[in-house]
Structure 1
């Protein structure tokens, strides 16, 4: 269900400036989420205090009513944790607001598109952070290897317990495909990790057994091959 703009404190005839627009959107989403969880303003204040960053009940009430002049990022982060939601969903509440103004002097865009820009996923919007892309590619390749290992183990079990030759042959074929997929994932990990190193950063830690296969001792991990992310 899409929440109307008027529920967030403004309408087409009374559009606030961009900064106010962001504050109103966050405040409305905090209020909506708090009520969804059946939390009072005091409950939310207590939860923030337990997280180590107290936000008094009157501050929360002033924010929700539009009387608070500023909205620190640290407050958004803690409020999001207390409300069991990602901070980005307070700023860009996908599903509850259809459009937002992404930046000053820009036309309204879909909330999902603005969220993708903020998180660096919307490359079509101009985001081109190579390191962010490398780390995402690293995570994807690592997941590919882990999934392939599970599939290979399952296929190996089916091959051993197959009731007939046909089932066994299919299981062995599945095992080979999974092994091939795992090797491709490890090769992608090697390439991504090399590019991360070349950029002067440290690649993420790997499980010891996977690290032994991807970065064996005594090897040169650097490469100059092109990488397709």
Structure 2
């Protein structure tokens, strides 16, 4: 994709970036970009934003904060909330664990939703009931932590409904 094609794609997305700005980013004359620019560029390039931040597969190590290099895969995992910053003391690790709990909740929620959907597709009523109840309880954990659980797909909307069908079978 040329710089002009990328500029046009960004403009189509509602966030115009001049071709000259993109050229300056590409050749290092402009060393930074803001979060909005990063996100629109990722969308225009049809790429995960994290790959615009960390060159996974292209560089073995990256400087993630001044003076601290990491293996690129470790940098990606840290950025995605999958591991604490390497080399931190126990207080830093404990703080990271607490701060990353919402990420773990959302990941487990996705896993439960996928499990219920699979049970429905495979007409496995027993496992479907158990998984739906687990999902309902899990969504309650979100609320207890003051978080809003993700939207449920249409076929699972009943999970939150107190007066909805107790166990719809398919």
Segment of structure 1 superposing worse, 89-98 or 119-128? 119-128
Residue 146 (1) aligns with residue 117 (2): yes
Gaps of 5+ in 1: 1-38, 153-177, 220-229
Cα distance in structure 2, aligned partners of 1:73 and 1:110: 23
Count of residues paired in the alignment: 154
1:54 is aligned to 2:16: yes
The list of structure 1 runs, each at least 4 consecutive aligned residues, that deviate by more than 6 angstroms after superposition, is: none
Unaligned runs of 5+ in 2: 87-92, 165-170
Quote the Cα distance in structure 2 between the aligned partners of 1:186 and 1:193. 10
Q: State the shift of 1:69 in Å.
A: 4.5
TM, length-normalised to structure 2: 0.79
Deviation sequence 1:7-65 (CA, Å, 0-9, x none): xxxxxxxxxxxxxxxxxxxxxxxxxxxxxxxx111111111111111111111111111
Change in 2 beyond 3 A, CA 1:137/1:55: same
Secondary structure of residue in 1 paired with 2:65: coil
State the Cα distance separating 1:138 from its structure 2 match.
1.0
Q: Distance in 2 between matches of 1:146 and 1:74?
A: 34
1:181 corresponds to which residue? 127
Per the alignment, residue 82 of structure 2 pairs with: 121
Report the CA distance shift for 1:67/1:208 in structure 2 as closer, same or farther (over 3 A).
closer
CA displacement at 1:183 relative to structure 2: 2.8
Larger radius of gyration: 1
Name the CA distance, whole Å, in 2 between partners of 1:74 and 1:215: 34
Q: Out of 137, 143, 146, which is 1:200 matched to?
A: 146
User: Equivalents in 2 of 1:52, 1:188: separation in Å?
Assistant: 41
